[in-house]
Structures are given as C-alpha cells and as structure tokens.
Amino acid sequence: MITVISRSASFLTSVSHTRWLALMLLSLHVAIAFETTEEWVRAFLLAHYGFFLLWQPLLQGQKKLETRLAIPVLGIAAILILFPGWWVVALWVAVLTGLTGAVAAGMPGKGQRRAYLLALAYLLALLLLWVMPKALNDHSLPDVLTVIVKWGLLVLPVAVFFFRGSVASSHGTAMDFFYGLMVFLMVVVLALGTFTVVAVTKTDYALSVVQALVGMAALLLVMSWLWNPRAGFSGLGGVMSRYLLSVGLPFEEWARGLATRAERERDPETFVRDALADTSSLNWISGGAWATSRGSGEYGRHTRNVVKHTFHGLTLEWYSERALTPALSIHVRLLSQLLGFFYASKVREQTLRDQAYTQAIHETGARLTHDVKNILQSMKTLMTAAETSGPEDAERLQALLVRQIPQLAQRLQNTVDKLKQPHEVDQKTIAAGIWWQDLQTRYANERVIFSPAAEACEGNLPQDLFDSVADNLLINALRKRKADGEPVSVRAVLSCGDRTSFTVEDDGEAAPDHVARNLFLGPVNSDFGLGVGLYQAARQASQFGYELKLEENRPGRVRFILANVAD
C-alpha cells in the first residue's frame, strides 16, 4: 500500500502544471457545456476542483494545509459542487480567469506563456458565449454557436495539454497579483455590465455584450489619459505614487530628520534608538524593538501583529494594532532598509575612528621611540668622549658635560611630555648659532664634517624639529660602511640665507629605488629600527612649515635637505 501511494505521489509530482491546467479546463468544459445529468455535473465539477488544487498557484504543494486555510478551500468546493448555479459558475470562471492572467504575466518562457494565453482565451470565450447567456436565460443565440462552444472550444484545452511545461509547480513562477486582480475585476465589470444592459434596455444578449465592451473601452481610454494627461498636472499615476510614498507617514520629513540625526549622532546604537523614537507618533505603529551585535532596545507596546526585518546587522521589529496593508508593509521595509544603511555607515565610521586612534598611538609611539634612540645615541657619544679623554682633557670634558647633559635631560623631558599630550607640537626655538655649536659638540668624535660658514647664522630655529631631523640623518649616514670597511664621509651644512636649510650629505651607498620612493610616505624595511624615522621626521617638518626631501640619490653622493617651504 505504501509503495502504491509513493508511486502515485511520484507520478503526480512529475506532471507539468500546464497539463494540470488543461485537465482542469477539460473537466470544467464537460461539466457545464454538455447537457448531462446532475450527478455527472457534480462528478465532473469535483474532478475539476481536484485538478484545480493540483494546478493552483497560491499554496505550495509541500506545505501542510492549516485549518484556517482548509476551511475556505472546502467551503469553495462545497458551494461549487452542491450549488452549481450559473451565477456561481460565472463567478468561478471569473476567478479562474484572474488567476490564469496573473500566472501568464509572470511566465518567463514564451511557450508556457502562450499556453496560459490560450487558457485565458478559452475562459473568456466560455464565459461570454455560454455561461452568461445561460445565467441570463437568453435563448436568442443560434444553434451553430452551441456546436462551436461544445466542440470548437475543446481545441484550446487540448492544445494547452500538448504544450511543453516545466515539472515545477506553478507556484514557483513569479505571480503578478495586481495584474490578476485587474483581469478579475474587468471580467466582473463586463459580466455585470452586460447584465445591466440586458435588464435596462431589454435588448438581446449579443448587442448587450457589444455595448458593455464599448463602454469598458471608453472607460479605459479615459483612465489611460487621466493616468498621464500631460496637461500641466501629474495625473492619476503621480497621485498614486505620492499616496504610496506618503500613506501613514510623512516620509520626506522623517528622512530629512534621519539624515540630520545621522550627521549629529556618532554612536550607532544611540542613533538607532533615537531614530525609532521619532516614529512613535505614528498611529499605525504601537511599538518596536531593535537588536544588534552590540546592544538592543524597545519602545512602545508589543502586539501580536509584528513585522520583522534584518538589514546590515540591524534587526527591527515593528508592532501594530492591526495587520499592515501592502502599502504600509512597503513603507516599513523601506524604513528598515534606510535605518540599516545608516546604521552600517555609523558602524564603519566608528571603526575608522578607532583605527585612526590606534594608528595615531602607534605613530606617536614610533616617533617617540626614535627620539629616545637618538637621545641614547647622544649619551653614548658623551660616554665615548669621557672614556677616551685623558687628564689633560678634564676641563674640556667637564664643559662638554655641563653643556650637553641639561640639553639631553630637556629633550628626554620633552619626549615624556609628548607621551602625555601626543598632539601637542613643541614650539620651543633656539638660536641658529647655538644649535649649530651644540650639534658639533655632540658629534665631535664621529668624523662629521661641519661647514664653518654656519657659525655666522642668525635667527631662531625650532629646536625639537632640527634635533630630531639632524639625529636621524646623521645616525643613518654614520651607519653606512664602504666596501672596504671604512666609514663614509659625512658632511653637514646649515644655511641661513633667504631660505633656512639644513643639509646632510654622504658618499655611501644610494638607497634602493623602492625605498627612496617611500621614505617620506610610510614605514620602510630597516635593519636597525622600526623604519619610520624619516617618515615621522617628514610629518613633523610639515607641521612646522618645513619640507624634508631626498635631493640627490646616487652611489657616492646621497644628500638630504630640510628647508622651510617658500611662500
């Protein structure tokens, strides 16, 4: 038994929906077009309704039929089978016409669409040529029309049966409910219009159908003109569009407020909470709730009618006293999308701020590390001078220490202060001549050639900038070694003419091209440190109105220059 049921189920699922449609039309035709006994009519109507359930595009075949849906299904079957009056049949044919038109509008393939158009033509012909005359008790139609209806219209369902269709059920296609509703209403208007003309004018049925068709054509012509009149106003199309966009909600005002709040509020969760609070005045929304990965909240009163949307990590629940209409459902979805997009942008902004803050901490730490390394290098230089000096150099060594130790202490104190206030720029200046002498003293034992012309320099220099740049350039140059192991020749020049500049030049190896391009743009690979010394020095120079650049880069001649930017 189970095997038979499983084979039957497999067979039913392998039949294409166009063939179920054809069988549904054929059983309907036999039930109402051929003059049979009442028992046979009900039997064929029962078969017709069964084929309809196998074809229908409204409910999925795999879905369990709930009680609230089963009652209408059984109720329609009972009315159609137990009370098969001609007006009941007319209404049922109109419903089938609307459903067929809705499915035909959403069919992707031309073959299947043609099959549904044939079915639509059959239903309209059956309604106008057979069902409506029977419902109006009109006997004026010729006998040849009876033969055409009974046998000629059978060609259309048979043709539909032999059309190739997909095995998937019709609910898998895109069903245009609006188009189906319009077709159903037009058929109902045509039927009722024909009935009205017959009842009022007492004319025959054929002329009444023509008059009803002419009246509907005129009405559609007027409606099409009113939809887009091009006479200075937008027409019914514009009115409907504005209605769909503004029903129940001043959309433009709310969107403007949302954009303003987005510019003012930085925290994503606070933004969502305040934006939802703005919708609490809507009478069709009783409450709401939101949830993200970092928080949640709710407002208003919760009801059993809830609409839930999730966009970009933001989950929104909207509660209403009554079930939302299709137009309001579109509004709620649009509002949820807007809030989701704004929330995602706020999260990105916060992430970028956190990354910028972390990068600032890293860059500050890297720059101050270089400052500390330069200070340690200066201290090592003093220690080397103390270790290599004899008793006869005691006075000179003491003068050196007295002059250099306070400077090193002050530079170290400035570095500690930068840790507390990393964005503060040290604006302390020093006389150019004094700074030049101190620089020569610090590197007296490093074989650096200092230009004597700088002794007469006047004016002041930003001490922190020149100390940092000079230490970076001189230490990098002194680390170079020639092929034979001899140290390179390093030359330092300070010029205080129309344009203040400090130059460090050596005769060592040139920097590789890929390193030279990125020296002042970002960190580079370094064998001696973090590789950010010159990058940080260039950024510090720009803060003081100076520019640090690699003026020449070739083997035996590498020159860096620090100069103020010309106005």
Using the predicted structure, report yes or no on whether residue 60 has a pLDDT greater than 90. Answer: no
Q: What is the DSSP letter of 57?
A: S
Among 417, 408, 493, 486, CA closest to 448: 493
**pLDDT computed for residue 279 by the predictor:** 73
Q: Are residues 96 and 204 in the same domain?
A: yes
Q: Are residues 63 and 154 in the same domain?
A: yes
Using the predicted structure, report yes or no on whether residue 442 has a pLDDT greater than 60. Answer: yes
Q: What is the DSSP letter of 164?
A: -
| Mean pLDDT, the chain, whole residue set | 78
Share of the chain above pLDDT 90, in %: 6
Among 401, 378, 361, CA closest to 467: 378
Q: Are residues 191 and 252 in the same domain?
A: no
Residue 306 lies in a domain: yes
Residue at a domain's end among 174, 196, 227: 227
What distance in Å separates the CA atoms of residue 533 and residue 456, rounded to the nearest whole number? 30
Residue-wise pLDDT tens digits, 301-354: 888 888 888 888 888 888 887 787 777 787 788 888 888 888 888 888 888 877
Among 503, 504, 494, CA closest to 436: 494
The answer to whether the CB of 17 falls within 8 A of the CB of 169 is yes
Residue 27 lies in a domain: yes
Residue-wise pLDDT tens digits, 451-473: 876 656 777 888 888 888 888 88
Query: pTM for this one?
Result: 0.49
What distance in Å separates the CA atoms of residue 273 and residue 261, rounded to the nearest whole number? 11
Q: Are residues 191 and 328 in the same domain?
A: no
Lowest-confidence pick of 194-198, 299-303, 440-444: 440-444
What distance in Å separates the CA atoms of residue 347 and residue 25, rounded to the nearest whole number? 58
Q: What is the residue range of 137's domain?
A: 2-227
Cβ-Cβ contacts under 8 Å for 74 (sequence gap 6 or more): none
Using the predicted structure, report yes or no on whether residue 63 has a pLDDT greater than 70. Answer: no
Among 199, 319, 284, 263, CA closest to 274: 263
Provide the token pair at 206.
């054929």
Residue 39 lies in a domain: yes
Q: Are residues 220 and 136 in the same domain?
A: yes
What distance in Å separates the CA atoms of residue 319 and residue 289, rounded to the nearest whole number? 8
Mean pLDDT for 396-417 is 70
SS3 per-residue string spanning 488-545: CCEEEEEEECCCEEEEEEECCCCCCHHHHHHCCCCCCCCCCCCCCHHHHHHHHHHHCC
Residue 47 lies in a domain: yes
What distance in Å separates the CA atoms of residue 186 and residue 87, rounded to the nearest whole number? 16
CATH code, 477: 3.30.565.10
Residue 305 lies in a domain: yes
Q: Are residues 140 and 61 in the same domain?
A: yes
Using the predicted structure, report yes or no on whether residue 498 has a pLDDT greater than 70. Answer: yes
SS3 per-residue string spanning 197-235: HHHHHCCCHHHHHHHHHHHHHHHHHHHHHHHCCCCCCCH
Residue 409 lies in a domain: no
**pLDDT computed for residue 122 by the predictor:** 93
Residue 359 lies in a domain: no
What distance in Å separates the CA atoms of residue 104 and residue 98, rounded to the nearest whole number? 10
Under the banding of pLDDT at 50, 70 and 90, the label for residue 281 is: low
- Find the helix or strand (DSSP H, E) in which 460 lies: strand 460-462
Using the predicted structure, report yes or no on whether residue 290 has a pLDDT greater than 50. Answer: yes
Domain count for the chain, please give it. Answer: 3
Q: Are residues 184 and 304 in the same domain?
A: no
Q: Are residues 127 and 263 in the same domain?
A: no
Mean pLDDT for 4-28 is 71
Mean pLDDT for 425-431 is 73
Which amino acid, 146? Answer: T
Burial (CB count within 10 angstroms: exposed 0-12, middle 13-18, buried 19+), residue 301:
exposed
Using the predicted structure, report yes or no on whether residue 357 has a pLDDT greater than 50. Answer: yes
Residue-wise pLDDT tens digits, 126-146: 998 888 888 888 776 777 888
The answer to whether the CB of 128 falls within 8 A of the CB of 209 is yes
**pLDDT computed for residue 368 by the predictor:** 67
Give just the sign of the alpha carbon dihedral 269, 270, 271, 276.
positive
Give just the sign of the alpha carbon dihedral 184, 186, 190, 195.
positive
Using the predicted structure, report yes or no on whether residue 123 has a pLDDT greater than 90. Answer: yes
Q: Are residues 76 and 222 in the same domain?
A: yes
**pLDDT computed for residue 421 by the predictor:** 58
Highest mean predicted confidence (pLDDT) among 21-25, 163-167, 314-318: 21-25
**pLDDT computed for residue 119 by the predictor:** 92
Q: Are residues 258 and 125 in the same domain?
A: no
Highest mean predicted confidence (pLDDT) among 26-30, 76-80, 303-307: 26-30
Q: Are residues 223 and 255 in the same domain?
A: no
Under the banding of pLDDT at 50, 70 and 90, the label for residue 79 is: confident
Q: Are residues 49 and 131 in the same domain?
A: yes
Burial (CB count within 10 angstroms: exposed 0-12, middle 13-18, buried 19+), residue 160:
buried
Residue at a domain's end among 350, 377, 396: 350
**pLDDT computed for residue 249 by the predictor:** 54
Give just the sign of the alpha carbon dihedral 446, 451, 455, 461.
negative
Residue at a domain's end among 305, 321, 350: 350
Under the banding of pLDDT at 50, 70 and 90, the label for residue 246 is: low
Residue 32 lies in a domain: yes
Integer angstrom CA distances of residue 451 from 474, 475, 491, 505, 549: 14, 18, 8, 11, 20
- Find the helix or strand (DSSP H, E) in which 177 lies: helix 177-201
Complete DSSP assignment for 239-285: HHHHHHHHTTS-HHHHHHHHHHHHHH---HHHHHHHHHHGGGG-TT-
Lowest-confidence pick of 90-94, 367-371, 386-390: 367-371
**pLDDT computed for residue 26 by the predictor:** 93
Judged by DSSP in three states, 444 sits in coil
Share of the chain above pLDDT 70, in %: 73
Cβ-Cβ contacts under 8 Å for 228 (sequence gap 6 or more): 235, 237
**pLDDT computed for residue 516 by the predictor:** 79
Integer angstrom CA distances of residue 242 from 6, 178, 226, 245, 533: 54, 18, 16, 5, 62
Lowest-confidence pick of 63-67, 93-97, 290-294, 331-335: 63-67
Using the predicted structure, report yes or no on whether residue 171 has a pLDDT greater than 50. Answer: no
The answer to whether the CB of 462 falls within 8 A of the CB of 469 is no
Mean pLDDT for 426-442 is 79
